[in-house]
Amino acid sequence: MNNLSKNELKEKVVDYAEKVFFFCVKRCNSRMDAEDLSQTILLEVLENIDKGAHIDNMDFYIWGVCKNQYNMYLRRTIKNRNNLELNEEEINIYSDNSKTPLEELLEDEKIRKMNSAIKLLSKDYAEILYAYYIEDKTLKFIAEELKLPLGTVGRRLSDIRKKLKEYIDMERLNGKKAYVPKNFQVVQSFSGNLSFNPSKVVYPLLIKNLLYHSYGIECSIEDYSIELGIARPYIEDYVKELVNKDFLIKLENGKYLTNIAFINKKERREILDFARENISGYYNAIVNFTKENLEFYKSLLDETDALDEHLMWSFICLTMVIAENVLRTDFTLRNDGTNWDVILLETLDKLYNDEFFISFNGRNGDYNGRHLCAYAFPADHWKEDGGASDVIAYNNALTGTYDLNILYEVLIKNTKYSEMDEENKVSVDKYVEMGAFTIVDDSIKVNIPVITIENYKELKNKITSDESLISAYKELYNGIYMKVRNLIPSYLEKQTPFIIQAILLDRSLILHRAFEEGIIKADKSRKVFIYNGVIIK
> How do residues 250-293 score in pLDDT, each as one tens digit?
999 999 999 999 999 999 999 999 999 999 999 999 999 999 99
The mean pLDDT of 40-67, rounded to a whole number, is 85
pLDDT of residue 528: 93
114 pLDDT higher than 70: no
Helix 221-228 / helix 205-213 crossing angle, nearest 10 deg = 130
Domain interval for residue 238? 177-259
Q: Are residues 512 and 377 in the same domain?
A: yes
pLDDT at position 136: 63
498 and 435 inside one domain: yes
Q: Summarize the confidence of residues 481-498 as an average pLDDT.
A: 95
315 Cβ neighbours under 8 A, 6+ residues apart: 290, 293, 294, 297
Residue 360 covered by a domain:
yes
Q: Mean of the pLDDT values across residues 127-139? A: 71
d(CA 81, CA 97): 34
Within 8 A by CB and 6+ apart from 242, the residues are 201, 207, 210, 211, 248
Strand partners, 158: none
Q: Is residue 397 a contact partner of residue 532, using CB atoms and an 8 Å limit?
A: yes
112 assigned to some structural domain? no
Q: Which helix (H) or strand (E) holds 263?
A: strand 261-263
Distance CA 30, CA 43 (A): 20
Identity at 188, one-letter amino acid code: Q
- Is the same domain home to 96 and 125? no
* Residue 463 confidence (pLDDT): 98
Model pLDDT, residue 139:
83
The total domain count for the chain is 4
- Give me the phi and psi of 363, to 5 degrees please: -135, 150
How far is residue 256's CA from residue 204's CA, in Å, rounded to a whole number? 19
Domain membership of residue 308 (yes or no) is yes
pLDDT value for 175: 40
Per-residue pLDDT averaged across 436-445, rounded? 95
Q: Of residues 324 and 113, which shows the higher confidence score?
A: 324
Helix (DSSP H) and strand (DSSP E) numbers for the chain: 24, 13
pLDDT of residue 152: 85
Both 292 and 426 in one domain: the answer is yes
Does position 357 have pLDDT exceeding 80, yes or no?
A: yes
User: Is 311 inside any structural domain?
Assistant: yes
pLDDT at residue 374, rounded to an integer? 92
Instruction: Say whether both 155 and 26 belong to one domain.
Output: no
Any idea what DSSP says for residue 151? H
Flag whether 465 is in a domain: yes
| Together in a domain, 242 and 387 | no
Give the 3-state secondary structure of 182-214.
CCEEEEEEEECCCCCCHHHHCCCHHHHHHHHHC
Q: Is residue 116 part of a domain?
A: no
* CA max distance for the chain: 101
Give the β-pairing of 172-173 and 176-177.
antiparallel
- 218, 70: one domain: no
With bands split at pLDDT 50, 70 and 90, how would you rate the model's confidence at 159? confident
458 lies in the same domain as 358: yes
Q: Judge whether 289 lies within some domain.
A: yes
Q: What is the mean pLDDT of the chain?
A: 84
Residue 485 in domain: yes
The confidence score (pLDDT) of residue 382 equals: 66
Given a cut of 70, is residue 104 above it in pLDDT?
Answer: no
Confidence of residue 118 (pLDDT cuts 50, 70, 90): low
Confidence check: pLDDT of 523 > 90:
yes
Q: What is the CATH number for 163?
A: 1.10.10
pLDDT of residue 78: 45
443 with 514, same domain? yes
Domain identity same for 427 and 303: yes
